[in-house]
Chains A and B, each alone.
Chain A
Amino acid sequence: MSKYLVDIQNERLSFFTPAGEVKALNDVSIHLEEGEVLGIVGESGSGKSVTAYSLMGLTAHPGKLLGGSLVFEDKHIENMTEKELRQIRGNDISIIFQDPMTSLNPVYTVGNQIMEAILLHTDKTKAQAKDRARELLELVGINEPDKRLKQYPHELSGGMRQRVMIAIALACEPKLLIADEPTTALDVTIQAQILELMMELKDKLGMAIIMITHDLGVVASMCDKIAVMYAGRIVEYGTTEDIFYRSSHMYTKGLIRSIPRLDTKEHERLVPIEGTPVDLLNPPAGCPFAPRCEACMKICLNQMPPKTEFDDVHYTNCWLIQKEEFEKGAQNE
């Protein structure tokens, strides 16, 4: 028995588009213990959502898993049939999507959509499922659950709909909840409420969460561990402290510098990361971040940086760290 609930090793995944192969994931490894919260941070297109979706076998059409292993509770997801996957989806692993406005089917009532998940994965009767749905709505903090059950998604506000999405996700008490930018489409005040609710429910139900976001503020307050992704690779991985206080990859450092802080001095500007992400149709030979990196070295452009492990958890892929080691080694000789 692995000590991890989720253990992704060297996942490689590509989208075969008419324009060519888009290498969406390259050698992505992630692991997560029961009850842990992992944040995956990165820009749009960095592969954070794809990583999470592939764990449910939800890779969209031209996407294809090319290698690596995805283990959930000692079962290999990558070898599962569609039928086996269906038993896991919504049952052991659930997901909350980014846009609650479009993620609920407009032609069915909220109750119908919550009950669907319950009826699929349990032996409950319709009446029992309805009770459970009411219970779930209360759990996610929706008042007048009986009235809400009969309402259609368009009759609810955005925050309310996201709560409904959470209720659907929690219907079968999953062991893992994937939250794909759950607050991006919501108002700032609602964002905080939804995040608070998620943390509350996590403590109550003891599930693990993978939090996908581009908001470092969100991960800082919620996550135990953080994976920073760039261009389909994990550039740095570590505990929240590692990432915020001992970050070693230039991209992570750049990200942290671009967050507004309370202790910023007046007239001090936020530092943006210049440049645009690489084109994954033609990935560069070296480090994908190199062209935007202010400390870029010759080797960065030609060779992929090796993994440098600082301890059991914290690692990074950056030539700068290797340079320090190299120079130390040269001195020792």
Chain B
Amino acid sequence: MAKYIVKRILLAIVTIWAVATLTFFLMNMVPGGPFLSEKAISPQATAALEAKYGLDKPMGQRYLTYMADALHGDFGDSLKQRGRTVMDIIKMKFPVSAKVGGVSVLVSLLLGIPLGCLAALKRGKTLDSIISVVATCGIAVPSFVICTVLMYFFGVKLKLLPTMGLTSLKHYVMPVMALSFYPTAYIMRLMRSSMLDVLGQDYMRTAKAKGVHGFKILFKHALRNAILPVITYVGPMLAYTVTGSFVVEKIFTIPGLGGEFIGAIQGRDYTLIMGTTIFLATLIIIMNVVVDICYKIVDPRIKLK
């Protein structure tokens, strides 16, 4: 187990390095730069700014400097938000996105898993059809549609919920609904099909033949086997959701990391792009390792190599 974790960490470092390198060169090869769009700045000022941030140096040298700094945990200053380091921005924006995202993931797990199980148990009955239809519709509606529809009905027409910001519990309702809509539907479908698969297994018949109680068959024997695909899905999904959805953050005006990232890309804020990309990649890789370890705990057949 320890050997496995060490191996995974080494592999993770290589992957993060590859992602960072890829991003760095792609980003720098693209024509244009962070200070081109600001027309008010004179060419001299642009040159001065570029010199200040080291953008005038050759790409290879910049790459080496950046990587060396990044190794020490220094991701540099934001090019566009003067006086702020990339770390400051991530530290400030990530908790906002993480709170909304975390609640959303929790909601989708708490709704998706039981409803998916229920549909599988009531296979072919009305309840199953209802859940399946809702789930299929759920994965068919793009998030901006959900956001705007929610906004229109609850925010504008009924005036039940606040439409901007994140200051009270009420503010969470719409973003969380919008964010958890797709994952809930997806988990329901995943859970239903994997539960159906498990219910048809021979060991379920064995459990029944032993005289095990219906509920215990479900919770002890079926759920643990059926939950595996959900774990696989939830790991990366959690990483993506806590780092913020651009659409949801834009529509509900939430000051989160998702919006910041898109802003950085559009404004060519090189250092911020690099910082957030590395942050997101690290998070995803960590989640993947966590998923693998959860897998091992849930299913003893899996050998971690």
Contacts and interface: CB of A to CB of B under 8 A. Distances in A.
B216 to A, nearest CB: 9
A107 B210 contact: no
A88 B211 contact: yes
B122 to A, nearest CB: 12
B203 interface: yes
B210 A90 contact: yes
A105 interface: yes
Contacts of B211: 85-91, 117, 120-121
B16 interface: no
A108 B220 CA distance: 9
B213 A89 contact: no
A192 interface: no
B298 A95 contact: no
A89 B225 contact: no
Contact of B201 (A90, A102, A108, A154): A102
A124 to B, nearest CB: 15
A104 interface: yes
A17 interface: no
A89 B207 CA distance: 10
A111 to B, nearest CB: 13
Interface in B214-239: 214, 220-221, 224-225
Contacts of A85: 211
Contacts, number: 70
B301 interface: yes
A152 interface: yes
A105 B209 contact: no
Interface in A64-121: 82, 85-91, 94-95, 97, 99, 102-108, 116-117, 120-121
A58 interface: yes
Given A89-B211, A91-B211, A168-B210, A103 B300 contact: no
Nearest to A82: B214
B110 interface: no
A90 B213 CA distance: 12
Given A58-B209, A107-B225, A117-B210, A152 B202 contact: no
Given A152-B301, A154-B300, A154-B301, A103 B210 contact: no
B159 interface: no
Contact of B206 (A87, A88, A91, A105): A105
B114 to A, nearest CB: 20
A56 interface: yes
Nearest to A109: B300
Contacts of B220: 108
A161 B154 CA distance: 59
A103 B205 contact: yes
A86 B221 CA distance: 16
Given A107-B225, A107-B298, A152-B300, A102 B202 contact: yes
B205 A105 contact: no
A150 to B, nearest CB: 11
Contacts of A117: 210-211
Interface in B185-213: 201-203, 205-213
A152 B220 CA distance: 16
A120 B212 contact: yes
Given A152-B300, A152-B301, A154-B300, A58 B205 contact: yes
Contacts of B224: 107
Given A86-B213, A99-B202, A106 B208 contact: no
B221 to A, nearest CB: 5
Contacts of A99: 202
B88 interface: no
A94 to B, nearest CB: 7
Nearest to A93: B209
A86 B209 CA distance: 8
B299 interface: yes
A121 to B, nearest CB: 7
B300 A107 contact: yes
B210 A106 contact: no
B209 A90 contact: yes
B75 to A, nearest CB: 42
Nearest to B225: A107
B189 to A, nearest CB: 22
Contacts of B221: 105, 108
A97 B300 contact: no
Contacts of A105: 203, 206-207, 221, 225
A86 B301 CA distance: 30
A89 B209 contact: yes
Nearest to B209: A95
16 contacts: A86-B211, A86-B213, A89-B210, A89-B211, A90-B211, A102-B201, A102-B202, A103-B206, A104-B206, A105-B206, A105-B221, A107-B298, A107-B300, A116-B210, A120-B210, A152-B300
Given A89-B209, A91-B211, A106-B225, 10 more contacts: A85-B211, A86-B213, A87-B211, A102-B201, A102-B203, A103-B203, A104-B203, A107-B224, A117-B210, A121-B211
Interface of A: 56, 58, 82, 85-91, 94-95, 97, 99, 102-108, 116-117, 120-121, 152, 154, 165, 168
